[in-house]
Structure 1
């Protein structure tokens, strides 16, 4: 065998899984694009918010928090929920499942001075942090024996004791495969004769705006509209603003939808006093969910083929705990997470 573990997919999920498996044997990672972290990992809002997601996702968040801090991947940001007049019910619904405190609008304006008079309710969580996705990615890649770009998988065949996998200009044999191919993970599974999960890639558009009124925005929190109808986040002296849409999309190099982006910018505009200017740039990413919107971490029905997929919008913040759990399962160890969470993340729930 050329390797013990072949990781297919070079985003945060694949790099983290490979690093967690490195003590168990030789790991090779193949990424289809010409750069690691090219798709969702490189286009993430990169925020750690412990209470973001369903219960199994929150369990992964909680189990990842210490690792993020120990590695120095987090920096202070804060999260503010912004409610307009008429959005009271939605505001209360958001707070019902988020560990976040209501604050006076006056205090919110001290943090973000451009909030408009239409803002009537605000809440704030100081325990939300920026995540350094590039540092996370490089940390994972350094632990892997061999990581290669430009290797788009074309064939996955079972052989005695493992797998033979081909890409456009390479061939490798591996004892086990970890499918971390993001939006393409179902396609990789079909190549291997594994039942797909029914993954749903959903597009999310973003615009980069000049700092409103030339202000220094570096200390502003991330702002979230009620019902996640938009968000805005400081980024390198500017603001990234998203309509936070979830538009079904085929696996692809996603691009922003101009109409959807305009609608999202209009919702953001309602909450602020500064007029929205022409974006400096726009882009989009794909957030790939399983049918129940929880990750798929664990064995497939075919021996030696493992899922690390369906990260949705949670892949960066859950990566430390998700990769540890997957490595434990592959190595035959009991995961640190409770049995109920492990079962809720088991890909077998879709069979």
Structure 2
């Protein structure tokens, strides 16, 4: 049996980022049930960094992550993880109140938001149907290289002495005499602190450890890659509906990635797209632009895991001081990962937070906010 200071359950973006930071201070083991880390939500992202995504309570984490992603330390990555894209939120005349509420929500957040009207929107989006008359440009939005970021965290984790064991799914864990005995079926391990970074499986992992679940719900999100007959500009912004019923962005050669912004509750597992969701996505796109669709080239789905209040859960369990939650990161876990990992490390090790996250209210993400 091998002893560690900290064992992290889950090797996706959450577990890899937190593990990489913590490994500078402790002996860390990351246990991943799949043969490839990041197989589920991390590997199925549409891959954008957008400050307003996830809502005002998540925005501080995203904004704090921006500089770390845009200009990473050379020892972490020699290139930026962000490529400028910009975003355009669009709506119809009946969405005037929605646009006003959106602008109000971020009025004091330090995010540039530019109001756009019909003539300006049409310049950005060729073939835009006439009823789409309202817009808000969010120029700070960027594409994010999810694969490179996840790989960089795994590399840093290894360089700092951390260990990743794949194909090691948690069977159970027992808390005995201020330490955890962890059984994976592939071996047993012991640690002082157990971290739950298991994404869609977070509540299941908690129960296998004798810890009460938080009510984290996996919600399925569908994405399709369409080939159109139009030469779509490669610098087209990320286009999002103010009502939250679709978003899409170009990926080159007349192709787009499109989502119907679906959120269907699912049991944890290997998510697969449903034909109805694919058809819904295409139908919604056709109500926005008059682009002839030549083919559905790819389709996939991922599970985004939300706590009841849709905020992440970072911190020690209220009833087990050696069980740490790092879960419930919805669809914003990748874009917030640098700041979340810094904040999570400070909470986990009980260290003062780094300067990049000192202004973030960690209490709003604490497990204790849920009465269980």
TM-score category, normalised to shorter length: over 0.9
For the residue of structure 1 that corresponds to 2:164, the secondary structure is strand
Most deviating of 88-97 and 147-156: 88-97
Instruction: Give, in angstroms, the shift of residue 88 of structure 1.
Output: 3.3
CA distance in structure 2 between the aligned counterparts of 1:217 and 1:153, rounded to whole angstroms: 46
C-alpha distance after superposition, 1:121-166 (max 9, x if no partner): 2221110011111111111111222112211110111233421111
- Aligned-partner Cα distance in 2 for 1:87–1:216: 26
- Between the aligned partners of 2:220 and 2:197, the Cα distance in structure 1 is 18
For normalisation by structure 1, the TM-score amounts to 0.94
Aligned twin of 2:364: 344
CA pair 146-338 structure 1, distance change in 2 beyond 3 A: closer
In the superposition, the TM-score normalised over structure 2's length comes to 0.89
Given that 2:224 and 2:278 are in contact with CA atoms closer than 8 Å, whether structure 1 keeps it comes out as yes
Cα pair 1:54 1:294 within 8 Å, conserved: no
Question: Using the alignment, how far apart are the partners of 1:123 and 1:276 within structure 2?
Answer: 26
For 2:343 and 2:242, the matched residues in 1 are separated by 33
Matched, 1:232 2:245: no
TM-superposed deviation, 1:214: 4.3
Runs of 5+ unmatched residues, structure 2: 73-79
User: Cα distance 1:138–1:180, how it changes in 2: closer, same or farther (>3 A)?
Assistant: same
Gaps of 5+ in 1: none
CA drift at 1:340: 7.1
Aligned to 1:306: 324
Residue 32 (structure 2) pairs with residue 31 (structure 1): yes
Within the candidate set 258, 269, 285, 1:241 is matched to 258
Matched, 1:320 2:349: no
- Give the Å deviation of 1:236: 5.0
1:253 aligns to 2:270 (yes or no) = yes
User: Which of 316, 323, 331 is matched with 2:349 structurally?
Assistant: 331
What is residue 62 of structure 1 aligned with on the other side? Answer: 63
Q: What is the aligned partner in structure 1 of residue 76 from structure 2?
A: none
Kindly indicate whether residue 210 of structure 2 is the aligned counterpart of residue 209 of structure 1: no
Secondary structure of the 1:87 match is: helix
Instruction: Give, in whole Å, the separation in 2 of the partners of 1:229 and 1:202.
Output: 15
* Pair 1:329–1:86, CA change in 2 (3 A): closer
1:107 equivalent to 2:127? Answer no
2:77 counterpart residue number = none
**2:238 maps to 1:222:** yes
Q: Distance in 2 between matches of 1:192 and 1:217?
A: 51
Q: Cα distance, 1:90 vs. partner?
A: 3.3
Whole-Å Cα distance in 1 between the matches of residues 230 and 360 of structure 2? 49
